[in-house]
Structures are given as structure tokens and as C-alpha cells.
């Protein structure tokens, strides 16, 4: 914190043999990403053999990942900054099916509310906000003539499977995500499992 670096770069399981087991980022990184205010770029461990070939060549396909994309300019700006000229920047927002169904179950117990109408209306609004935000981002990027194409994914589903599928299908080179929310000291409960399991490409943790 005394040096305030603009970026910290490390591979997973720094100075550790724990890369053989997919249960953590390693002792140093588990603490570092929670203790520092600087962005941390996490690279696949060089001995693990998990890195996808395209992810170590360039960053012409970068993906910003969150479950609250609307209005999140810091995440988008970081993803754009790492995207090569002529590349693609994916702005993604995946609402958890599990969380959504839990809320609908509660609503279904309120007799005065039509459950199916609530399901359709709430889902449409949940997805409309990030879509509108992505549209504004795309318009701003085009107006500034930035040589980057914005792609989008706004859906409901299982976050891990949705992101894993998109990373493989679109050959994503870098995934940008938050390490924690502003009011949290520990890593975000949904971020950590993703960071641990998505070992095949570099991650930028903000």
C-alpha cells in the first residue's frame, strides 16, 4: 500500500505447489486480492498446463463480468483499457437462476400478486437495465471512434456454466471482475468460486 502500484501481476499459487489442487488461488493471492486496493492480474500457473493457447498471445477478446453491470463504468473502463485495438470487449451480466427462483417462490406465497405476471415483469426489468447500459456504452465508444467492438451477453442462468461456455466458445483472453464489493473486506462470495475454477485464462481482479 505504501507504493500504490497501478497493477500487480502474479500467477496462481505463487511460491506454492498447491496449483495441483483446484481449491484456492494460493496463500499469497487469497490475501493479496482482499488486502490491496490495486488491481491484481492473475495468470495461469506456468506448470499447471491449464492455460488456453490464445490467452497467452494477446488480449483481443476481453470480458467484463458482473451481476450488477448497469452503471458500472469502472469495470467497463478497465476491460476496454486491456482490449487490443481492433479487438472485442464483451460486457456480460448473468442473473442467477437460483436467486431469481427463490424470490419468485416468496412472491408466490403472497395471494394478492399474480406469480406468473410477476415472474415475467421482474425478469424483463432485471435484464432491461444492463441491456440499456450496454447500449449506452456502445454508443459512447462509437462516438469516440475507439477501435473496439462491444459484444454483450445479458441472460439468466448458472453463472459458472454460462461464463465457462462463453470463454471457450469466444476464446476470451482476459476476464475482468471485482474481487469484492466496496463495503466488504472479504472476497465476494460469488467471485471467489469463479476465480478459483476459471484457471485457463488470466483474470483481472479489481
What is the H or E stretch that residue 62 is in? strand 61-66
Question: Of residues 205 and 50, which shows the higher confidence score?
Answer: 205
CA distance 177 to 173: 13
Q: What is the pLDDT of residue 112?
A: 95
Which distant-in-sequence residues (6+ apart) come within 8 Å of 141 by Cβ?
80, 148, 150
CA distance 84 to 101: 39
pLDDT in tens, 152-185: 999 988 878 888 888 889 999 999 998 865 555 5
pLDDT > 90: percent of the chain: 51
Give the pLDDT mean for 35-61.
88
Half-sphere exposure of 144 (CA within 13 A, CB side): 10
Q: Is the pLDDT of residue 103 over 80?
A: yes
Q: What is the pLDDT of residue 52?
A: 84
Alpha helices in 45-114 (DSSP H): 73-82, 97-107
What is the end-to-end Cα distance of the chain in Å, rounded? 15
CA distance 31 to 97: 30
Torsion of the alpha carbons at 101, 105, 110 and 113, rounded to the nearest 10 = 30
Could you tell me how many helices (H) and strands (E) the chain has, helices first? 6, 7
Give the pLDDT mean for 90-95.
91
CA distance 141 to 150: 8
CA distance 21 to 23: 6
The cell numbers describing 154, all together, are 445479458
What is residue 116's three-state secondary structure? helix
Q: What is the pLDDT of residue 86?
A: 96
Q: Is the pLDDT of residue 81 over 70?
A: yes
The cell numbers describing 148, all together, are 473496439
CA distance 95 to 156: 4
Domain extent listing, the chain: 8-205
Q: Could you tell me if 55 and 43 are in contact, meaning their C-beta atoms sit under 8 angstroms apart? A: no
CATH 3.40.50.150 for domain 8-205: no
CA distance 160 to 78: 22
Amino acid at each position: 500500500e505504501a507504493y500504490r502500484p497501478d497493477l500487480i501481476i502474479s500467477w496462481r499459487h505463487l511460491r506454492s505447489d498447491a496449483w495441483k489442487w483446484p481449491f484456492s488461488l494460493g496463500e499469497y493471492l487469497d490475501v493479496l486480492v482482499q488486502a490491496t486496493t490495486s488491481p491484481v492480474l492473475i495468470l495461469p500457473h506456468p506448470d499447471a498446463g491449464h492455460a488456453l493457447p490464445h490467452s497467452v498471445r494477446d488480449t483481443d477478446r476481453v470480458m467484463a463480468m458482473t451481476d450488477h453491470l448497469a452503471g458500472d463504468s469502472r469495470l467497463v473502463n478497465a476491460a476496454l483499457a486491456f482490449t487490443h485495438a481492433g479487438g472485442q470487449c464483451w460486457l456480460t451480466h448473468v442473473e442467477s437462476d437460483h436467486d431469481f427462483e427463490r424470490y419468485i417462490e416468496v412472491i408466490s406465497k403472497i395471494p394478492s400478486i399474480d406469480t406468473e405476471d410477476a415472474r415475467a415483469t421482474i425478469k424483463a426489468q432485471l435484464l432491461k437495465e444492463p441491456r440499456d447500459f450496454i447500449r449506452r456504452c456502445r454508443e459512447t465508444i462509437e462516438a469516440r471512434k475507439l477501435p473496439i467492438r462491444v459484444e454483450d451477453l445479458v441472460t439468466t442462468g448458472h453463472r459458472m456454466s454460462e461464463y465457462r461456455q462463453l470463454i471457450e466458445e469466444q476464446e476470451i483472453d482476459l476476464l475482468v471482475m471485482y474481487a469484492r464489493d466496496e463495503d466488504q473486506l472479504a472476497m465476494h462470495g460469488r467471485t471467489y468460486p469463479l476465480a478459483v475454477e476459471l484457471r485457463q485464462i488470466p483474470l483481472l481482479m479489481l
